[in-house]
Structure 1
Amino acid sequence: MIDAMKAESRRSVRTRAWALVLAGALALAGIAGLSVRAASADPTLPPLTPAELLGKVAAADVPGLSATFEQRSDLGLPALPAGVGDDETASMLSLLTGTHTVRVWTAGDQKSKVALVDGATESALIRNGSDVWAWSSEKQEAVHSTLPATKRPSPTVSPTEAIRTLLTKLDGTTDVTTSGTGYVAGRAVYQLILTPRATESLVGQVRVSIDAEHFVPLAAKVLASDGQEAVGVQATGIDFAVPNDSIFAFQPPAGVTVTARASSGKGEKAEKPKGEAPKTFGTGWATVTVVTMPTTGTDQQAKALLDSLPAVSGSWGKGRLLSTTLLTAVITDDGRVAVGAVVPDALYRALGSR
């Protein structure tokens, strides 16, 4: 993890721009998670209005849980040109395509574990009190840091927490309705539908399934504006018992490389990239972020990657367009990057604004 961060700081502006685009897609996938499969007979549950259901989600407090999620994505990412991309890029892209298994354990706000399981390999982030471990079984590397004594939120974010954060931040940009009941992982759920009002949004709907007993989001799916399912994660099994303490007691295997990271009471600050601060345009689902990257040279792989994208131009200048099912980005020749879950015209308007 630390080696990757150091490598990232040495990359050219174009490579960092591409990474920013992929990170944006991954972030969107992270909050958009979870898909619902219909049961043969829907459960009969007490009726709840959308506001009542959202209130219960916001107030939900479970002492612990163990869950397994199946995550799948079909974002329509363009294929990399031949010979372009290293193992890190390939690994990042693999998270945005296909199907993956995520396992989650929580026991209050001081103990949590999230693990991405890919066959026999596992990448995990574990918090046990003040101890935080990042572990990669494939690389046989572990990074250990210690949180300050002051209480902090857990550094791990489960799919249910990501969806809950999304639901509690809804405002006038979204139509919220309910759509009956169903089952997820054998548990009865309410079904909630979020429909963006912004016509520029590439997100057509987000459909969330919420546990009818504990009011924890268990499943949802994101439909693109054309009605196709783009991202989904679904709980395939869940247990609301508090996990055993041994789940969070991580010990690196013998021979594993361990990197220690110091943590001060004020927290560590990441090195800020040079250039102007990011600017945002629009609101809600139609938000566009524009970042000006420092103007440095480009390596050959980054140039080949950019040259493989369609060329676009307008009153704002010239650049390259990356278009996926849920995310659009423009990387301009003068070092600006505009990203949003919007149609290209919204990015062009943002780039043309001063």
Structure 2
Amino acid sequence: MSSSGKPDIPAPLTNLKIQYTKIFINNEWHGSVSGKKFPVLNPATEEIICHVEEGDKEDVDKAVKVARQAFQIGSPWRTMDASARGRLLFKLADLIERDRLLLAAGFPPGVVNIVPGYGPTAGAAISSHMDVDKVAFTGSTEVGKLIKEAAGKSNLKRVTLELGGKSPCIVFADADLNSAVEYAHHGVFYHQGQCCVAASRLFVEEPIYDEFVRRSVERAKKYVLGNPLTGGVNQGPQIDKEQHDKILDLIESGKKEGAKLECGGGPWGNKGYFVQPTVFSNVRDDMRIAKEEIFGPVQQIMKFKSLDDVIKRANNTHYGLAAGIFTKDLDKAITVSSALQAGTVWVNCYLAGSSQSPFGGFKMSGNGREMGEYGLHEYTEVKTVTVKISQKNS
């Protein structure tokens, strides 16, 4: 420990860049059993950055075996108290920020293992493995269902899922308009729209609807697109070509189904998976862009007239991950936040959070919670021990 009370951080590692593409098991770098690799592309340039070892069932089996050994009675990790484990986790966080991976953090062998791979192979092997007790997954609802099914068919392992969303953001006429426009904008365009809690269903009360649309379009048109590694860029590319094409297909469906395209609406540039910041107005609840998770920089603005109407429409979805409310009326905010079927509700803000706040979804947005005390419960088992003792002497 340093004099400041923080864990000592080792000097930067050198000549290990080639290792970062390998599989990490039992504190050692490995090639995949199959010998296969998969390319990693830079989505801004479509150029290959590197090739990563492709793990599959055999690699997962090796990782699970050493992880089990690392948690046996008497092992260094099993006997380490919570404070010592916490110091290792904080040390790992510092090293990840500085160097990326985790060998220098000092975890006992087998405690942390990384097996890159595709869902049908590595992912399926983990979720169906008889020696895996718990799976936590963040991703699509479709894959979440497959994981839960595999867990049920194997050892009934505990599964927590943080899945898709189509989060409503409700702006009442009495809201601070400037603030609401800005929060709603970041709520959907943050990280190119690739955010599970994206404010992708924006309900605006009728008296301020036209002005809200005008300001939202004005804000979206100010965006600067380009390589996110360069300065002055507001929006980078989508993660890959498949997602890029899916977003463009949904944008086209919005045009065909009668939504009004206010700005954007197409690809950007000659290279890379860029999508223009897109704003639709006059969106109906039955349109694909209002029902399906787009996971891209597409804002859909819908009009509402009454509180009861907007609550009903906001809850009319299979998802229930997050929601936003903008109003100066505290009673209204409490009424609506209580009625919304969402795991997280933000009032006069969006994308705010802390490690103490439990996070997770209702309905098909998943089950279980991350962070906070509730997050710890997902990784613990309650045990009852009853001991018969001799009667005390009188």
| Common topology (TM > 0.5) | no
| TM-score normalised by L of structure 1 | 0.24
Higher relative contact order (CA 8 A, sep 6+): 1
- The structure in which a higher percent of residues are strand is 1
Higher gyration radius (CA) = 2
| TM-score normalised by L of structure 2 | 0.22
